[in-house]
Amino acid sequence: AQRVTQPEKLLSVFKGAPVELKCNYSYSGSPELFWYVQYSRQRLQLLLRHISRESIKGFTADLNKGETSFHLKKPFAQEEDSAMYYCALSGGAQKLVFGQGTRLTINP
């Protein structure tokens, strides 16, 4: 079975502090992992995917197959990063399994 766990429903950090949103997955094969973000009053949109190995808006995420994790990190949080973040997994089928989401709040 495919499962994605985001252990933190809420995360609050101060502006300029580092941010790490945790994501753990359960899947026996080679997963494709994504982070989606939903800003206030906006559509859910792709933030980044692991196969791209790119940094978007200062965020990076590394797939750790040993720990089955895909944590999202940013060294210096900005107020505009406040949003709902979802980790998602595709395990071969043409569909995604989403985690429960983490609401990130950046305090000034």
Partner 1 sequence: NAGVTQTPKFQVLKTGQSMTLQCAQDMNHNSMYWYRQDPGMGLRLIYYSASEGTTDKGEVPNGYNVSRLNKREFSLRLESAAPSQTSVYFCASGISQGALQPQHFGDGTRLSIL
Neighbours of 47 (CB within 10 A): 19
Tell me the three-class secondary structure of 24-75, residue by residue.
EEECCCCCEEEEEEECCCCCCEEEEEHHHCCCECCEEECCECCCCECCEEEC
Q: How far is the CB of 19 from partner 1 (least distance, A)?
A: 19
Q: Which of 6, 59, 63, 70 binds partner 1 (CB under 8 A)?
A: 6
User: Mask 50-69, x = binds partner 1 (CB under 8 A)?
Assistant: -x------------------
Give the shortest CB-86-to-partner 1 separation in angstroms: 6
User: What's the alpha-carbon Rg for the chain, to the nearest Å?
Assistant: 13
34 binds partner 1 (CB under 8 A): yes
- Kindly list the residues in this chain that would bind partner 1 in the complex (CB under 8 A): 4, 6, 9, 32, 34, 43-46, 49, 51, 86, 90, 94-101
